[in-house]
Amino acid sequence: MARRKYVVGNWKMNGVSASIAEAQAIFAAADGHPAVEVAICPPFTLIGAMVAAARGAPVGGQDCHSAASGAFTGSIAAPMLADIGASLVIVGHSERREGFGESDADVRAKAEAALAAGLSVILCVGEPREVRESGGAIEFVLTQVAGSVPANVDPARFAIAYEPIWAIGTGLVPTIDDVAAMHGAIRRALSSYGAETAQAVRILYGGSVNGENAAELLGVGDVDGALVGGASLTAAKFVPIVEAAAGL
């Protein structure tokens, strides 16, 4: 089954109003590569302005609360993201799991809330370095998949991002064989949702993706795109990754 490549920029806690110019340059370049879906998830403060500048390209949030509203100071609900024009949201990023103690159940609840609000979801899974070195990476990640993925999955609005925690922002990258093994294992695990769903869900790779390694990583059979951190902040660094995806 042919799956459209999906390249997503996670700006994390970076960007001010002047940064919208970089997003415009990225989306303009992406227009020349219609075979690749390109999205950016900026800080919440920039979503509205980026939606206005994106000319219909998908713009998303980096997290959402599992409740639709309530007394949760500082939190953003999925309906709020939808209301401001976002079309997707990242949930379960390792920086949320590790830094904020989010459990698989928390991530699943957020994914369900986002889907209920009409958003698409990118659900992140990944192992820390000690688990990789102990040989338990695949088991660890498949446990996250089992505990985090909602019961009902629509491949048109749901993707998984595999991000080895030890590779994020470090310059370290798993071997191509390791990436292939993990993505293949995730694909097989999704068979519990039905063979057609398992083949249709896009599985992204995230972890020190750049213009130099993107073609090799995105060329792996079950790698359907990339979730990109630091290299997504400028068109100069992000567009080569989009071009690499387009060339496959």
Supply the residues annotated as catalytic: 93, 163
- Cα–Cα dist 217/220, whole Å: 6
Specify burial of residue 2 (Cβ count, 10 A radius: 0-12, 13-18, 19+): exposed
- Cα–Cα dist 53/46, whole Å: 11
Tell me which long-range contacts 195-200 makes (C-beta under 8 A, separation of at least 24). Answer: 197/153, 197/155, 199/1, 200/1, 200/3, 200/155
Residues in the chain, total: 248
Q: Whose structure tokens read 């992000």?
A: 238
